Each structure stands twice: as C-alpha cells, then as structure tokens.
Amino acid sequence: MPQFFLNKRLILLLVSIIILVALIGFSLKDRELTWPEQFLKDTTGFVQLIFHKPAQLVAGFFENVNDIRNTYKENKLLKARLEEYVALETQVQALKKENERLRALLNKKESLRDFIPIQATVIGRNPDRWQETIIVNRGEQHGVKKDMAVITPEGLVGKVQHASQFTSTVQLLSALDQKNRISAYVQGNENIFGLIEGYDEKRRALLLKRIPFDAKIEKKQKVLTSGLGGVFPKDLPIGEVMEVVPDQYGLTKMVYVKPLANFYDIDDVIIVKRKIDETLEEREEAK
Amino acid sequence: MKKWALPFLAVVCFVSESIFVDVWPKNHVYIDYFFVPRFFLIFIVFAAIYIGQTRAMVYGLIFGVLYDCTYTELLGVYSFSFPFIAYIAAKAMKVLHQHWLIACFLSLFSIAVLELYVYGIQLLIGRTNMPFQMFCLQRLSPTLLLNVVFLVLLSYPLKQQLVKIKRLEQED
C-alpha cells in the first residue's frame, strides 16, 4: 500500500494524535464537566432511559422467576427475623425520642447524621468497565452535587463523580482511585478513626488505613462513615472488619473491610445530601 | 423514513452496549471476567465495508465523542479510535474480498486492537495496574468470546440491513 501514508493523511493522523493526548491531559485534571459535555450526557441519558425501561422489564421478569424458586426458604427465615425486628423497632423509637429531647435540652438542632435522600434509578453503565461507574437519572437540577455519598439500603456504594443537569455519574467504591478517600471509623466501645483508601480487588475488600497501632479491633465490628471528611453524613454503614494487619511500615494498622453493599448488582440508589450543609447554605443566603 | 434507518441502527447499537452490561446477571462471572460488548464497533466496521468509508468515519467520530462524554469521561480515547478503525477497515476491504465472513473476522480483529489500545492508555495514565497476562485472560478473551456470539447471531441480519439501506440510497 504505497499510498497509505500519503503526506496529507500522515499529517492528519499526527495532528489527531496530538489532539488526543491534549484531550486526555485535559480530562485527567480534577474538573467540573463543561457545558457541552453536560449537554451530551443529558441527551444520551434521555435516550438511554427510553431504551432502558423495556430492557429492564424483560430482565426483571426472568429475575422474578428465579426468585420464586427460593421463596419458601426465604419466607421461613424472614418470619423468624420479624420478631427481632419489632423489638428493635420499639427500641429505636424510644432512643430517637430520647435523642430529640436531649438535643432540645442542649439547644443543638443540627447533626452530622441527618441527611436528605434523593432517590435515583440507574439508567446506564460504563460498558468498557475500566472504571466501574454507573449513570443515574438525577442531576444538579434535583440537588445533586459533586462528591456526594451514594448508598443503597445495605450501605455505602460510592460517590458522585460528576453531576450534570439531569444525570450524574457515580463512581463505585471498588474503583481504583487514589483520590477516593473516605473518613470512617470502626464502631466499638471506643470509636477508632481511619481513612478508607483504595480497594483490594483480589480479596474484594476496602482498605481502612491510618489506624493507631495500639487500637483494639476485632473481626465483625462495623465500619461506618465518620462525617468528618466534609461531604458525607455520619453513620452511613460501609462494611465489617475482615482482617487486621500491620501497615507497610509497621507504624499503623490496616483493616480489610468487607463491604456490606453489593457494588455490582445495583438498580436503585439513594444520593445523600447532608442537612447541615443545607442549613449553612440557607444561612448564607439569608445574609 | 429511509433517511433515519442508519442513524437509528447506530443509536440502537450504541445504547445496547450499556443496557447489555446493566441487565447482565451480576454473579461471580461478571466480577471476575470482563465481558465488554463492542456492538457499536462491529456496526462501524460493517458500515465502513457496506456503506462507505466517509460516512462510517463520521459516525465513528460522533458516537466516539458521545461514548467519551457519557461513559468514560476521558475525552479523546474513543473519538479517535472509532474513525481510525473505520478508516483501516475500509482500506483493508480494498485488498480483501468482500464477504460476510471476512467482515466478521475483520471486526473481531478490530475489537482486539481497540481493547489493546484502550488497555495501553489506561496503563499509561495509571488508572489500572492489571498485568498483561491478566488482561488477556480476564478481559481480552471473554470480550472476544462475547462478540463472537454476537457476530454469529446478529451480524448477518445487520449486513442485510446495511446492504438494503445502501441499495435504497442508490435507487434515489
């Protein structure tokens, strides 16, 4: 093929490679989405929503058929758990009331724990799966902002990577991202604070690092968000302690945390907006 | 109506990738092996062969940009490779015999090239630390397998459809 690398084409190819490198460099920066990107994303999101509904109906039908086979066993188990649940429920109610009363006594209205849930449905996934991300049908117009926590009823699954006007991209906790740090603590007699940094793909566990070396941690203890990171509310469940090991340098400990939520099988999520931020915003506006 | 047949086909191929991943049962196979649907790439290769080089490249560029914006948020990767593969496919067809089976093999080849190219870029920018052997085992071979199944089932109807679109255009 002698005419394959004609001069004009070769130049075109080189120019496009330069543009490619420049664009990759541009998109690697820590940035907000530009408006053309947001527009494209929202438009595709709309088309996806149209196609997604019937596809999910069909898939849901097969899942239902599969579920029916296990119904008897599950029902038995659930009935046993129901009584426990009632006892727990009354306890929670009593504690809630007491908490409210004590708060009123202290005149402390805000808590890091309170949040406003934004319900969202998954409308797409990144098909090339180099980064595990999902696309949900709620965006800035509904109050979603960058870095907000995303949970399912089981626990934390990720955070909002980018929010455009009507859709947003959720980065799952299993993504390999050094910047993805979450302030968390191990629940016990004494709460032990650390940072969730990274994910071990082989063991399918999150890594909770920077724990004091003399901290006493046992297996099966719960790990929750601490709310100190600035964006996430307090006490969102993350997982359970799987194993405690000394850190690379032996100065601190590292905990393998088994996530409570399934990162892969997600249909509906809740995007969590801290109430304390809302009240702060209102106050600023009032000024 | 005739005018919209090709864009509609492109949109269907494009959206079906995402939906396919979403409705695929999320069991251990899903977590351990990466079955990446590359239906749109197959469409691009077939379009380059049966419709024409320029149009395939334009479609590749438009949907490549869409792919980058909506899914990966890493601009440039697919908007560069889709037109490039369309170009290569069209050029290769000048040498090769135009046959459905050859088109299938060509699309498989381009899927492998695309996977390697994206892997290289991800490795370069540090988004992955997957060793090459793992990449071949967990990503390349399952992806090729999935797309072979797609090719066997749907590439012939796709080809017929494209040929029909082309014929109707030529009649006008």
For every one of its 287 residues, what pLDDT tens digit does chain A have, with 9 covering 90 and above?
Answer: 555 556 788 888 899 999 999 998 888 887 788 888 889 989 988 888 888 888 888 888 888 888 888 888 888 889 888 988 999 999 999 999 998 888 888 877 777 778 888 999 888 888 888 888 889 999 999 989 888 889 998 889 988 988 889 999 998 888 766 667 888 889 888 888 988 888 887 888 888 888 888 888 888 889 998 888 777 888 889 999 998 888 878 788 889 999 988 888 888 899 998 877 777 777 777 77
Chain B hits for A152, CB-CB cut-off 8 Å, are none
A125: nearest CB among B16, B21, B66: B21
A40: nearest CB among B20, B66, B127: B66
CA proximity to A237, closest of A113, A147, A106, A130? A113
Residue A182 lies in a domain: yes
Domain boundary (A46, A72, A107) is at: A107
Q: Say which residues have a Cβ less than 8 Å from residue A226's Cβ, sequence separation at least 6.
A: A183, A184, A185, A191, A193, A234
- On whether both A215 and A229 belong to a single domain, the answer is yes
- On whether both A131 and A213 belong to a single domain, the answer is yes
Residue A11 lies in a domain: no
> Tell me: the pLDDT tens digits for B123-168?
988 888 888 998 999 899 999 999 999 999 999 999 999 999 999 8
B 11-30 near A (Cβ less than 8 A): 11-12, 15-23, 26, 30
Domain boundary (A89, A107, A125) is at: A107
Range of the domain at A97: 81-107
Q: Say which residues have a Cβ less than 8 Å from residue A285's Cβ, sequence separation at least 6.
A: none
Residue B8 forms contact with A (CB below 8 Å): no
- On whether both A193 and A93 belong to a single domain, the answer is no
Residue B141 forms contact with A (CB below 8 Å): no
Between the alpha carbon of residue A244 and those of residues A25, A155, A192, A223, A239, the distances in Å are: 38, 21, 13, 13, 14
Cβ atoms of A48 and A56 within 8 Å: the answer is: no
Mutation target to probe the A interface, by most A beta carbons within 10 A, among B34, B68, B73 is: B73
Measured CA to CA, the distance from residue B69 to residue B67 in angstroms comes to 6
- On whether both A202 and A98 belong to a single domain, the answer is no
Query: What is the SS3 assignment for B139-155?
Result: HHHHHHHHHHHHHHHHH
- On whether both A175 and A242 belong to a single domain, the answer is yes
Exposed, middle or buried by CB within 10 Å (0-12, 13-18, 19+), for A193?
Answer: middle
Written as one letter, the residue type at A109 is K
Residue A31 lies in a domain: no
Mutation target to probe the A interface, by most A beta carbons within 10 A, among B15, B33, B87, B95 is: B15
**pTM assigned to the model:** 0.84
Residue A76 lies in a domain: no
Long-range contacts of B123-129 (CB under 8 A, 24+ apart): B125/A24, B125/A28, B125/B74, B127/A130, B127/A131, B127/A176, B128/A130, B128/A176, B129/A176
Measured CA to CA, the distance from residue A104 to residue A100 in angstroms comes to 6
> How many secondary structure helices (H) and strands (E) does chain A include?
3, 12
Long-range contacts of A101-108 (CB under 8 A, 24+ apart): none
Residue of B nearest to A58 (CA): B23
Measured CA to CA, the distance from residue B130 to residue A202 in angstroms comes to 12
Phi, psi torsion values for A93, nearest 5 degrees: -60, -45
